Chain A
Amino acid sequence: MLESLLTNDSRMEPYWALAESLDVPVAINMGEGPPGAAYLIPTYRARLTSPYLLEEVLIRHPRLRVSVMHYGSPLIEEMIAMLGAYPQLYVDIGGIQWNYPRAYFYKQLKELIDAGFGKRIMFGSDQMNWPGVIEPAIAIVDEAPFLSGDQKRDIFCRNAARFLRLDTKTCD
Chain B
Amino acid sequence: MRCSVMTAFVLLVVAHVSAQDGAPRPLIIDMHLHAHTLSMYGTPPPSICANNQEILFPAWDPHEPLTYADAKSCPERLKAPETDEELLQETLSLLKHHNIRAVTTGSLDQVTKWYAGAPDRIIRAIPFAEPKYETRDPAAFRRLFAEGKFAVFAEVSPQYDGVSIADPSLEPYFALAEEMDIPVGIHMGEGPPGAAYLFSPKYRARLTSPFLLEEVLVRHPRLRVYVMHYGSPLVDEMLSMLYSHPQLYVDVAGNDWSLPRKEFHSHLRRLVEAGFEKRIMFGSDEMVWPGTIKVAIESIESADFLDEEQKRDIFCRNAARFLRMDVKSCGE
Question: A residues near B, CB below 8 A?
Answer: 23, 52, 55, 59, 62-65, 77-78, 80-88, 90, 111, 114-120, 159, 162-163
Contacts and interface: CB of A to CB of B under 8 A. Distances in A.
Contacts of B195: 85
B57 A116 contact: yes
B210 to A, nearest CB: 11
A116 B59 contact: no
B57 A119 contact: yes
Interface residues of B, number: 34
Interface in B224-273: 233-237, 259-260, 262-263, 266
A88 to B, nearest CB: 4
B305 to A, nearest CB: 15
A115 B259 CA distance: 7
Contacts of B234: 77-78, 81
B41 interface: no
A85 B260 contact: no
A116 B233 CA distance: 13
B62 interface: yes
Nearest to B195: A85
B40 interface: no
B233 A80 contact: yes
B66 A87 contact: yes
Given A55-B205, A85-B196, A114-B260, A119 B58 contact: yes
A3 to B, nearest CB: 23
Interface of B: 55-63, 66, 70-71, 190-191, 193-197, 203-206, 208, 233-237, 259-260, 262-263, 266
**Which 10 A-B pairs give the minimum distances between C-beta atoms?**
A87-B60, A85-B205, A52-B206, A114-B262, A88-B62, A87-B71, A115-B263, A116-B260, A63-B62, A80-B233
23 contacts: A23-B63, A62-B197, A78-B206, A81-B190, A81-B233, A84-B57, A84-B193, A84-B233, A85-B193, A85-B195, A85-B196, A85-B203, A87-B57, A87-B66, A87-B193, A88-B62, A111-B263, A114-B262, A115-B263, A116-B260, A118-B56, A119-B56, A120-B57
B63 A63 contact: yes
A69 B203 CA distance: 25
A171 to B, nearest CB: 15
Contacts of A63: 62-63
Contacts of B66: 87
Contacts of B260: 114-116
A73 B206 CA distance: 17
A88 B70 CA distance: 11
A77 B236 contact: yes
Nearest to A66: B62
Contacts of B63: 23, 63
A77 B64 CA distance: 28
Given A81-B208, A81-B234, A116 B56 contact: yes
A82 B193 CA distance: 9
A162 B262 contact: no
Contacts of B194: 85-87
A23 B58 CA distance: 20
Contact of A65 (B62, B208, B266): B62
Given A78-B234, A115-B260, A90 B190 contact: no
A73 to B, nearest CB: 14
A81 B194 CA distance: 11
A64 to B, nearest CB: 7
Nearest to B60: A87
Contacts of A117: 57
A84 B71 CA distance: 9
